Chain A
Amino acid sequence: MFLLPLWTDITTSFKSLNDLINTVPVQPPLSPTIEPLIAAFNIMKRPLLNSLTFTVAATILSCLLGSINGYALTKIKFRGSNTIFLLFSIGIFLPYQAVLVPLVLTLSRLGLFNSLVGLILTHTIYGITITTLLFRNFYGLIPDSLIMAAKTDGAGTWTIYRRIILPLSLLPFVVAAVFQFTSIWNDFLFGVTLARGSEAMPASVALANLKGTTEFNWNVQMAGALWYALPILIIYLLLGKYLIRGYMAGAIKG
């Protein structure tokens, strides 16, 4: 029952127009065909490539910055570090509507409206808030004695980060990257306001546009949803437990 919507998405994606008429949605196709998948791919390939580009770039950037922030906020501890953390934390819960109008104005002025670079910048910045939280929680677990020892050996702040912190950071990087990839890939609001109907259009907007266009039947629309879901399904299968850790950290420690 719970998986019914997903099941019918898959069955419908493999149905010809004939099968669409002659079977009910929950039935598997009588003669499976990949034609809807090909048709959907042809419509979605450019937006899918756009999404992949800005998602990967913004994921890497927001994780790197989050790691540096997390390190600075736990291991250096300077005046105001708690205030800075609070400022970032509020950003996690920010309804993006509250910045959309000036964001459009800012990006237009920078010449980044309707562009992949604009989307990378936007997703990186609003991603920093959550990645900082994830890394901060993890680095809080690294014993301070390790840092002190390196300091007495004369290592500087940056050297300690590179030699000690980074090599210990594989786990938080995987958790943060999986979390960021999923949320940036899934975004619709920024896509539809910053890159609607442009060369940089994300896959989420392209899929939403398939709705209500009479030239496409349900099978093509469902196949489009399947293409857009594919990277997330792969991540979920391979790295699901890290994604779950991200969800937990985002909510429990918040």
Chain B
Amino acid sequence: MRFPSGKVFTKDTLVNLLFVLPSLVLVGYFVYVLIGWNVVVSLTDWKGLAPSYNIVGFGQYVTLFQDPEFLTSLTNNIILILLFVPSSLALGLFLAILLDSKVRGEGVFRNIYLLPFSLSYVITATLWLWMYNPKEGVINTLLRAIGLGSLQLGWTTDPNIALVCVVLAIVWQFSGYTMLIFSAGIKSIPESQIMAAEVDGAKGLDLYRRVVIPQLKTPALSAFVVLMIFALKVFDFIYVLTGGGPAGYATYVVPLLMFRNTFRMDQYANGAAMATLLFLLALVIVIPYLYLSSRREKD
């Protein structure tokens, strides 16, 4: 076997390839072949338990965009992304600056803020179920106990604010993560730059605004991608906290509808079409990011 450059495919190269071969075969099949297979399923009319590979074209996709359940879920997904991503970034940046300016006990604070991020979404959702429960839950009983009973709300049982309640809880879980990423970014700024700015008279918040924050583009971008992907495929948390309700669809999102239609209602082709859309959206976010970071690595 010959490559264009004229190098011979030696026995050594073959042996070397053997190192990655097992993983390559496994990832190749379980990631790439399965993605392709899923696309094929999305083009069929498979409904019910027995697989059908009767290709009907893009009918499933057309149906999706006429289906009010899907459109509601998609809208909720978009609202969730628009609320969750900027607030997590802002809160994380705020916490990172707070941590940076207050040196004592930094490690302890960092560990406390990061703890929720390390826990399973099933756990955090269970905790927030208890927080939000309107009758005996933590927030409303606390409000009653301190005489602010008039501020009690239905939280996740009120269709008007349920989605906001979901966002608040996941911001709580993710703010430690964004804080960590921003903290590392702040630490990597050379001390000399900070000192130079201080000599120029920059102080306090002004110093952050002029010197520190403009240099946090790279960590902000990484955190942005991680948050976007999470918000796009959010499933466990909503499954446990609201199950998509109240009022039927107040917090339904695409991954939840995909799960229900596929595994509870056996509409495999329909679910596969939603899965393909999720994958394409993830690619739109990830490909430019991977391209940018591979260019940065080369520089």
Known: A69-B23, A229-B119. 4 other contacts (CB 8 A): A6-B115, A79-B3, A95-B229, A186-B121
In the bound complex, do residue B275 and residue A101 qualify as a contact, i.e. CB atoms below 8 Å apart?
Answer: yes
Q: Which residues of A contact B (CB under 8 A)?
A: 2-6, 8-9, 12, 20, 24-26, 65, 68-69, 71-73, 76, 78-79, 81, 84, 86-91, 93-103, 105-106, 122, 124-126, 128-129, 132, 156-157, 161, 182, 185-189, 192-193, 204, 207-208, 210-211, 218, 221-222, 224-225, 228-229, 232, 235-236, 240, 243-244, 247-248, 250-254
Q: Are A207 and B122 in contact (CB under 8 A)?
A: yes
Q: Judging by beta carbons under 8 Å apart, are A129 and B255 in contact?
A: no
What are 20 sample pairs from A and B whose C-beta atoms fall under 8 A apart?
A5-B138, A6-B115, A6-B127, A9-B130, A94-B35, A95-B255, A97-B279, A102-B37, A106-B30, A122-B30, A125-B26, A125-B31, A128-B23, A188-B122, A193-B263, A218-B130, A222-B130, A244-B114, A252-B218, A254-B225
Of A106, A125, A208, which is within 8 A of B27 by CB?
Answer: A125
Stretch at the interface among B65-73, B152-160, B234-242: B234-242
* Distance to closest chain A CB from B289 (angstroms): 7
- A93 in contact with B282 given A24-B142, A99-B35, A254-B290 (CB within 8 Å): yes
Q: Is the CB of A26 within 8 A of B236?
A: no
Question: How far is it, in angstroms, between the C-alpha of A27 and the C-alpha of B114 when the chains are bound?
Answer: 25
- Give the docked Cα–Cα distance between A252 and B183 (Å): 12
Query: With a CB–CB cut-off of 8 A, which chain B residues contact A188?
Result: 120-122, 235-236, 239
Residue of B whose beta carbon sits closest to that of A217: B136
List the A side residues contacting B122 at CB < 8 Å: 186, 188, 204, 207-208, 228
Beta-carbon contact of A232 and B279 below 8 Å = no
Interface size of B by CB at 8 A reads 93
**Chain B interface, DSSP helix/strand/loop, else mixed:** helix
A93–B226 alpha-carbon span in the complex (Å): 8
Nearest A-chain residue to B22, judged by Cβ: A65
Decide yes or no whether B112 CB sits under 8 A from chain A.
yes
Candidates A68, A93, A106, A157; contact of B23 at CB < 8 Å: A68
Give me the 6 closest cross-chain CB pairs, A-B, nearest first.
A186-B120, A98-B279, A102-B37, A72-B19, A5-B127, A99-B34
- Would you call B16 an interface residue if the criterion is a C-beta within 8 Å of the partner chain's C-beta atoms? yes
Is B19 a contact of A157 with CB atoms below 8 Å? yes
- Whether A94 lies near B31 (C-beta < 8 A) is yes
* Interface flag for B180 (CB, 8 Å): yes
Cβ-defined contact, B258 with A125, below 8 A:
no
Asked if A2 contacts B20 (CB within 8 A), the reply is no
**Complex CA distance for A212 and B120, rounded to whole angstroms:** 19
- Complex Cα distance A151/B282, Å? 42
Question: Which residue of chain B lies nearest to A76 when distances are taken between CB atoms in the complex?
Answer: B16
